[in-house]
Structure 1
Amino acid sequence: MLNLELKPLVLALAGLFSIVSIAHAENKAEALELGSVDVVSTTPLQALGTPISEVPANVQVATSKEIDQQKPLNLGEFLDNNLGSVNTSNGVGNPYQMDVSYRGFNASPIMGSPIGMSVYFDGVRFNEPFGDTVNWDLIPSNAISSINLIPGSNPLFGLNTLGGALAVNTKSGATSPGISATLTGGSWGRRAFQFEAGGENKDRGIDYFVAGNVFHENGWRNYSSSDIRQLFSKFGWHNDKTDLDLSLALADNKMEGTQALPLSMWSNTKQAYTYPDSIKNKLAMISLKGTHFLADDKLVAGNVYYRMSNAKSFNSNAQCADAGCPDTINGSIDPNYQGLGSFDAQNVTSKTSQDGYGGSLQFTLLNDLVGHHNNFTVGASADWGHVNYNQDGYLANVQGYQTITDQTMTLLNYVRLKAKTDYYGFYATDNFAFNEQLNLTLSGRYNIAKVDLIGGTEADANILS
């Protein structure tokens, strides 16, 4: 593997500021972005933070320094290699489309998977409006400043936070100044280029940060290539009390994968069982977040966002008997074999268009209560989503493990579905210190969720709410 990296010495200075606490920072608003492994925020938006020793859970923290040193293929790979109780599986057959499991609860890109984790990206809920799935290929790893993995059924992070919440924060020009570029090449046709650039004008209180990824790999198996294109930019302004950040995230990815092989084909593990199987994901997300100190112990934080994501998939499904897909296994009749007349396969295409938008507002008060240290946070969030989902299944034939759609384009089945989601949440948490050894944390959330489904397998399907 060839790895060429250019990085000015100024980047080394960024690590010196990572341990600066808010209480001693000259600029309180900017200090919120610096982060610390000793004080963590356990709320969706940035707060004044709680000492990690006072959090009644095993919160795991990772920083950009660890990510930059390891240069993982993607965020899922980094979580698997570094955080406890995290595992990944790859049923789709592509390294960018893995299932991430934390203590048995999943965050998966596969529609219909039981989702048990919430993922937040700079305070914006990153789970898709349709199915609450998580597309890990849309998150650029070199733009990440810090990661907080908060275990348990934490009510502050909303629906489906059954096993935990993952809060991802991005870099800024103030925290990551300088220029970095990495060129990588390797086996299976791997070619990758990463870059990031950041800077700050302290006199004007403005900063910028840009990061990009271009990745291609043929994959170690046939028909399992990956083409990843990610771009992230952030522009910020701050003074001694206020910090504003406008960010834009773009992605345009195509990933191919293939299924697990039956025992009868293990003589060549690189071959595809059936193909093609591909997923195309596109994302455009813009968000504006801000924090403002009303006083040293009072902080207001908020954000608004809009995201547009499109996904297209092509799935080959063989249930056949020919030279490329036998109906026997080791000489015995396959009990699962079902014929389709003169056809022996099915190709399924799907297209999902999603628009999501919303915002959050949060207030934190760090003050003594009846003579004891107390940290109180209250907030509200609103998220809306509009979804168009189309799926078509066509008759096909297998030729050399490739499923070829019938020329007549015979439609076996179809789905035409429109969905509208409205989610509202009101939450609060309080951390009360009886003494230096004993703290009590009380959290709660009230959710209002409405989901409208219009359509289905019939054009005149009823509306479901």
Structure 2
Amino acid sequence: MTVHAQETELAPIHVIGSSPVAGDAIDRDKVSTDTQSLISDDFDRNKSTSVLDTLAQQTPGMVISDVQGNPFSQDINLRGFSASPVQGTPQGLAVYLNGVRVNEAFGDTVNFDLVPTVAIDRADVWTSNPVFGLNALGGAINLQLKNGFTYDGLEAEVSGGSFGRIGSSLQYGAQKDNWAFYTSGEEVHEDGWRDHSSSTIKRFYTDLGYRDDKSEYHLSLSGAANTLGVIGPTPVEELSRKYASVYTFPQTTENNMLMAALNGKVSINDNWAVQSNIYVRHFDQEHVDGNTSDVTACEADSTLLCLGTAITQNASTGANLSSSLLPGTGLNQGIAGSIDRTHVNSNTVGGSLQTTYDGVFLDLNNHFVAGGSIDYSSLSFSGKNELGTISDTTIDPYVAGTGITYETTDGLIQPVKLRAKNTYQGLFASDTLDVTDRLSATVGARLNIAQINLNDSLGTSPGLTGNHHYARLNPLTGLTYKLTPDLTVYGGYSEANRAPTPLELGCADPAKPCLLEGFLVSDPSLKQVVSRTYEAGLRGHSAVATDSMIDWKLGAFLTNNTDDIVSQPSSLVPGYGYYLNAGKTRRQGVDAYFQYRTTDWSAYTTLAYVDATYQSKLTLTSANNPDADANGTIFVTPGNKIPGISPLQFKLGGDYKMTSAWTLGGDVIANSSQYYVGDDSNKNAKLGGYTVFNVHSAYQLTDTIKLFAKLDNALDRQYATYGGFAAVGDIPSLGLSNPQTTTPAAPRAMYAGFNVKF
């Protein structure tokens, strides 16, 4: 008689990289913090030109905030911490692309418009892990791009639709023997649904790879040249007259980036491996912003032009400017304006080296990672104000420059040129030990060292020059326990820090405020921000049938920050501001995620509650806040909510195969009301919550051709994700009295296209 051994089907193991450096992986069920992983199919399903749309749709506690009014350049917020392209936003998330930290050198900003969306292979989101280095206060986003080993074929796509959008992309991947090649390019142009908001996106990415039984290497080159219409918030009274209006223009940003990187992995034996990467990255940004100006005829001498009590001078000649330049007195009709220009140019070189061990230690299974990184940036920043005029108008005020750059005799406003050098170093190690076949323990730490040197290149702002040094050791510890093969409970504690940026250090003097898109005048020290996070939860994944899988998680978190850095509007010069340490803050809450997949359909839902509060008594400035006193001051008490954060967030979505060729899907995103930015004392009405519904569909016409279409904001809701306050009386002809401003979300929009893949 023949005895047949019974075959046992093992449950799939979900793995995730345990550090920014590619090449190592650990069972996600042994990670003592919350994580979320998305693959290329997730990014392809909604055909978005921005990586943020997919990240926000399926990550609990993550929402998009549109400050600038541009779909390609938005903020992402995770559990009350932001990654933003806007200079001046306190940055609390670390973002990596193929193991390279892409928080910019000047202000730790993140320009997601530079990410080649079509080339994304995988995205991992960590809620707390100090191994990811500086800025990982609220977590980290780790993006991995495709290569010829992970993608095979030739694929072209063309799409177009509302607001004059037209776009195309091309990607190709192939492998031959030990070699592989991948390349992609994409271009999108959109006129924009709001006035004066057109954008053009151009991105490319190329990877050449080699691997054998013991090693794998990749040489990559990526670049982008983008022009963005960043029209920003508009007074709500203007929007009620014309929903597509803007407050003042021009407002544009040009981003250019080029990066080359080499990364590799070598297996020393069955247990030990070494991973590394080196890179060089160039980033160039030019920003133009048309604004109102407070220049007037001087009280002491009405023939001269003054800002406050300071005489305004020609920046080139030093000659006092005549008040005849004022609109209505000679140059033009209307009111005074200013065109503010900033330019950031940075070059960064860096690298990382780590070793991993997957083997036995003290007769117990063990996963060990240790390594180090260094990033060196040399950057320059320049800014100047050009005197302008705003024609008498009732809508869309346009600022026309005079060609005269100006400064004031007290040095409060003047052209600036800063050079800075940043050196960021890190040493990290973490170890996950399987104490039993169910219990795993993790301990680790990262030492961050930041050296920031500032130098005033013009010699007109000697207070800018200075050297700053920051260092901190951040620990990590946690436990995971498998209650059943499909159910894990986890808990942990970690710390992280953020060093002040050159932008913040160069603008930390209330007596010498800066234009917050960048002008710098002084260099007082700021303290580094430190976060301490406690986290616990449950997660499970199991097959409920031969063709279906459930994945779910439920977690709670508490993060306490000390010495949080916030931006403050100046009480001396409207439109200017400075940075300060704002004591203690707290983010706490719960989030949940559920996903169900079968052969024919998939569905997901997420629910999150984020309670973000001040924990210190503060006196802040918010001159345009209706609740501010005569000095433009508001008073914050412990427990006040941090503005700009929706406490309750809900998402629901899925796809269903109507036939073998036709797929129909949709997504619902709902966020509760939030306080306007600038209302830190919580005395005013909130910005309303919203619910938005999106629909998408795809039809496989032939084996190679797929048609697709999507409808965003299908119910055509009018809503905003960002609100603040502004000095609306600066342009009297507009007749505005309500200081509330919002950046309205786009109305209903439809896009369609086709995809060809060989």
Change in 2 beyond 3 A, CA 1:198/1:372: same
Following superposition of structure 1 onto structure 2, how do residues 130-141 of structure 1 map, counting pairs within 5 Å?
130-141=106-117
Opposite residue 251 of structure 2, the aligned amino acid is D
Following superposition of structure 1 onto structure 2, how do residues 305-454 of structure 1 map, counting pairs within 5 Å?
305-319=279-293, 342=327, 343-399=335-391, 400=393, 401-411=397-407, 413-454=414-455
Select which of 122, 144, 147 maps to 1:169.
144
Select which of 187, 198, 202 maps to 1:225.
198
User: Hey, what's the Cα distance between the residues in 2 that align with 1:216 and 1:452?
Assistant: 39
Instruction: Say which SS state the counterpart of residue 268 (structure 2) adopts.
Output: strand
User: Hey, what's the Cα distance between the residues in 2 that align with 1:177 and 1:227?
Assistant: 29
Opposite residue 35 of structure 2, the aligned amino acid is V
Quick check: 1:48–1:366 contact (8 Å CA) kept in 2? no
Change in 2 beyond 3 A, CA 1:197/1:63: same
Opposite residue 387 of structure 2, the aligned amino acid is L
Following superposition of structure 1 onto structure 2, how do residues 29-44 of structure 1 map, counting pairs within 5 Å?
38-44=14-20
Change in 2 beyond 3 A, CA 1:43/1:272: same
Q: Which residue of 2 aligns with 1:13?
A: none
User: Hey, what's the Cα distance between the residues in 2 that align with 1:259 and 1:145?
Assistant: 32
Opposite residue 279 of structure 2, the aligned amino acid is Y
Following superposition of structure 1 onto structure 2, how do residues 53-68 of structure 1 map, counting pairs within 5 Å?
53-68=29-44
Select which of 259, 276, 286 maps to 2:232.
259
User: Hey, what's the Cα distance between the residues in 2 that align with 1:263 and 1:44?
Assistant: 42
User: Hey, what's the Cα distance between the residues in 2 that align with 1:281 and 1:253?
Assistant: 5
Opposite residue 414 of structure 2, the aligned amino acid is N
Asked if 1:86 is matched to 2:86, the reply is no
Opposite residue 424 of structure 2, the aligned amino acid is Y
Opposite residue 236 of structure 2, the aligned amino acid is L
User: Hey, what's the Cα distance between the residues in 1 that align with 2:273 and 2:72?
Assistant: 37
Deviation at 1:258, TM superposition (A): 1.3
Asked if 1:69 is matched to 2:45, the reply is yes
User: Hey, what's the Cα distance between the residues in 2 that align with 1:47 and 1:435?
Assistant: 26
Deviation at 1:406, TM superposition (A): 1.8
Deviation at 1:91, TM superposition (A): 1.0
Instruction: Say which SS state the counterpart of residue 44 (structure 2) adopts.
Output: helix
Change in 2 beyond 3 A, CA 1:115/1:317: same
Q: Which stretch has the larger CA shift, 252-261 or 282-291?
A: 252-261
For residues 363-407 of structure 1, what are the alpha-carbon distances to aligned partners after superposition, in whole Å with 9 as ceiling and x for unaligned? 001111112111111001111000100011122111241001124
Q: Which residue of 2 aligns with 1:208?
A: 181
Instruction: Say which SS state the counterpart of residue 277 (structure 2) adopts.
Output: strand
Q: Which residue of 1 aligns with 2:97?
A: 121
Select which of 156, 162, 168 maps to 1:187.
162
Instruction: Say which SS state the counterpart of residue 188 (structure 1) adopts.
Output: helix
Q: Which residue of 2 aligns with 1:142?
A: 118
Quick check: 1:246–1:286 contact (8 Å CA) kept in 2? yes
Deviation at 1:92, TM superposition (A): 1.1
Quick check: 2:42–2:54 contact (8 Å CA) kept in 1? no
User: Hey, what's the Cα distance between the residues in 2 that align with 1:282 and 1:171?
Assistant: 22
Quick check: 1:415–1:458 contact (8 Å CA) kept in 2? no
Opposite residue 344 of structure 2, the aligned amino acid is T
User: Hey, what's the Cα distance between the residues in 1 that align with 2:444 and 2:69?
Assistant: 39
Deviation at 1:257, TM superposition (A): 2.2
Q: Which stretch has the larger CA shift, 75-84 or 424-433?
A: 75-84
User: Hey, what's the Cα distance between the residues in 2 that align with 1:274 and 1:458?
Assistant: 32
Quick check: 1:74–1:96 contact (8 Å CA) kept in 2? yes
For residues 157-195 of structure 1, what are the alpha-carbon distances to aligned partners after superposition, in whole Å with 9 as ceiling and x for unaligned? 111110001111110111100011110010111000011
User: Hey, what's the Cα distance between the residues in 1 that align with 2:125 and 2:182?
Assistant: 24
Question: How high is the TM-score relative to the length of structure 2?
Answer: 0.53
For residues 65-117 of structure 1, what are the alpha-carbon distances to aligned partners after superposition, in whole Å with 9 as ceiling and x for unaligned? 21122222211122112211111111111111111111111111111211111
Report how many aligned residue pairs link the two structures.
410
Asked if 1:278 is matched to 2:264, the reply is no
For residues 231-258 of structure 1, what are the alpha-carbon distances to aligned partners after superposition, in whole Å with 9 as ceiling and x for unaligned? 0000011111110000000100000021
Quick check: 1:193–1:215 contact (8 Å CA) kept in 2? yes
The structure with the largest alpha-carbon Rg is 2
For residues 318-347 of structure 1, what are the alpha-carbon distances to aligned partners after superposition, in whole Å with 9 as ceiling and x for unaligned? 2579xxxxxxxxxxxxxxxxx996452211
Select which of 197, 201, 211 maps to 1:238.
211
Q: Which residue of 2 aligns with 1:304?
A: 278
Q: Which residue of 2 aligns with 1:249?
A: 222
For residues 36-92 of structure 1, what are the alpha-carbon distances to aligned partners after superposition, in whole Å with 9 as ceiling and x for unaligned? 971111211124311111101111000012112222221112211221111111111
Quick check: 2:82–2:92 contact (8 Å CA) kept in 1? yes
Opposite residue 150 of structure 1, the aligned amino acid is W
For residues 196-228 of structure 1, what are the alpha-carbon distances to aligned partners after superposition, in whole Å with 9 as ceiling and x for unaligned? 1000002xx100000111000011101111100
Quick check: 2:384–2:405 contact (8 Å CA) kept in 1? no
Unaligned stretches of 5+ residues in structure 2: 1-11, 296-322, 328-334, 408-412, 468-758
Identity level (%) = 30
Quick check: 1:394–1:413 contact (8 Å CA) kept in 2? no
Q: Which residue of 2 aligns with 1:15?
A: none
User: Hey, what's the Cα distance between the residues in 2 that align with 1:134 and 1:263?
Assistant: 28
Unaligned stretches of 5+ residues in structure 1: 1-35, 322-338
Q: Which residue of 1 aligns with 2:456?
A: 455
User: Hey, what's the Cα distance between the residues in 2 that align with 1:232 and 1:208?
Assistant: 11
Select which of 262, 268, 271 maps to 2:242.
268
For residues 114-155 of structure 1, what are the alpha-carbon distances to aligned partners after superposition, in whole Å with 9 as ceiling and x for unaligned? 111111111111111111111101001111110000111x22
Q: Which stretch has the larger CA shift, 407-416 or 101-110?
A: 407-416
Quick check: 2:23–2:275 contact (8 Å CA) kept in 1? yes
User: Hey, what's the Cα distance between the residues in 1 that align with 2:140 and 2:368?
Assistant: 20
User: Hey, what's the Cα distance between the residues in 1 that align with 2:126 and 2:405?
Assistant: 49
User: Hey, what's the Cα distance between the residues in 1 that align with 2:405 and 2:445?
Assistant: 53
User: Hey, what's the Cα distance between the residues in 1 that align with 2:92 and 2:233?
Assistant: 25
User: Hey, what's the Cα distance between the residues in 1 that align with 2:227 and 2:453?
Assistant: 30
Opposite residue 373 of structure 2, the aligned amino acid is S
Quick check: 1:47–1:364 contact (8 Å CA) kept in 2? no
User: Hey, what's the Cα distance between the residues in 2 that align with 1:227 and 1:84?
Assistant: 31
User: Hey, what's the Cα distance between the residues in 1 that align with 2:97 and 2:23?
Assistant: 15
Quick check: 2:385–2:405 contact (8 Å CA) kept in 1? no
Instruction: Say which SS state the counterpart of residue 113 (structure 1) adopts.
Output: coil
Instruction: Say which SS state the counterpart of residue 382 (structure 1) adopts.
Output: strand
Opposite residue 168 of structure 1, the aligned amino acid is L
Instruction: Say which SS state the counterpart of residue 427 (structure 2) adopts.
Output: strand
Quick check: 2:406–2:414 contact (8 Å CA) kept in 1? no
User: Hey, what's the Cα distance between the residues in 2 that align with 1:457 and 1:348?
Assistant: 18
Deviation at 1:259, TM superposition (A): 2.8
Opposite residue 341 of structure 2, the aligned amino acid is T
User: Hey, what's the Cα distance between the residues in 1 that align with 2:432 and 2:276?
Assistant: 21
Opposite residue 52 of structure 2, the aligned amino acid is G
RMSD of aligned Cα (Å): 1.9
Opposite residue 67 of structure 2, the aligned amino acid is G
Q: Which residue of 2 aligns with 1:16?
A: none
